[in-house]
Amino acid sequence: MQLKEVSAIVTGGASGLGLAVANRIVHAGGKAAIFDLSVPQGSAAAAALGERAGFFAVDVSDEAAVDSAVTQAKARMGSVNAAINCAGIATPGRLVGRNGPMTGSSFRRMIEINLLGTVLVAKAAAVAMQGNSPNAQGERGVIVMTASVAAFDGQIGQIAYSASKGGIVGMTLPMARELASSGIRVMTVAPGLFATPMMKGLPQEAQDSLGRQTPFPPRLGEPDEFAALVVQILENVMLNGETIRLDGAVRMQPR
C-alpha cells in the first residue's frame, strides 16, 4: 500500500504515538481521521495537519460511537483502508495494594479501553474495508494494533495493563487469519519505553533513568520511530499476523 493512497483512522491521534502516525501519513500525501477524546487537542492536531486530516471526538469503548465515527470518517475521506489503534491508558495498580485490593471496575476500565476499544475499532474498520476495491496486491486494508512489552514481561502493578495488552497480542494472528480472505492484513506493534505525553510528564531525571534501561539505544524511543514502523507495515504486504517488539532490546524487570 502506498502512503499517498492511505485513508487511515488513527485512534489516540491527538498526541504521542498516534499523532506521530497521523503526521507521517498526511505529510506523505495520505489522509487521516483522528479519533480521540480530547476535543482541544484533537481539533488542534487536525488543524495543524491541514485539509487531509479530520478530527472526531470518540470514546473507543463505546461501540455505537465507534461505528458512527468510522462511517463519518469514511464519508469524509472517501474510503477507509487503514486503521491504526493507539488509544489506551496505563494506570498502574496492584492486585492487593497498600490501599486495599484492586477493584473490578478499575480492571474492567483498562480492558474496555485498551482491549475492547481496539476490537471495536478493528471490527468497524474491517467492515468498511471489505467494501474497498482490492489494489494490485489484492489488499483492501491494513489494521495495526498497539500492544506493549508489558504483554510479555509485565511489571508489578501492571496486572490489568498487561492483561489488556496481552489480549491484543493474542488476537493478532486469529484476526489476520480471519480477514485474509477479504484482503485485510493485521499487525501489532509492542513498544518499549517511549517518550509519550505520560512519560514526558515525569521529571527529566526519571525519564533519563528509564531510558538507560534500554540496552541500545540507551534512551526513550521517539514517537516518530514508532510511526516509521507503522509506515513500513502499511507499505510491506508481507507483514501480516505478527507482533513486532519495538523496544531496543529492553526486558522489563519485576519492578
Q: Which residues are catalytic?
A: 161
112-114-115 Cα angle (round to 5):
70
- Cβ-contact 26, 32 below 8 angstroms: yes
Q: Enter the C-alpha cell of residue 79.
A: 474510503
For the chain, the DSSP string reads --GGG-EEEEETTTSHHHHHHHHHHHHTT-EEEEEES-HHHHHHHHHHH-TTEEEEE--TT-HHHHHHHHHHHHHHHS---EEEE-------B-SEETTEEPPHHHHHHHIIIIIIHHHHHHHHHHHHHTTSPP-TTS--EEEEEE--THHHHPPTTBHHHHHHHHHHHHHHHHHHHHHGGGTEEEEEEEE-SB--HHHHTS-HHHHHHHHTTSSSS-SPBPHHHHHHHHHHHHH-TT--S-EEEESTT------
- Cβ-contact 85, 118 below 8 angstroms: yes
70-162-118 Cα angle (round to 5):
5
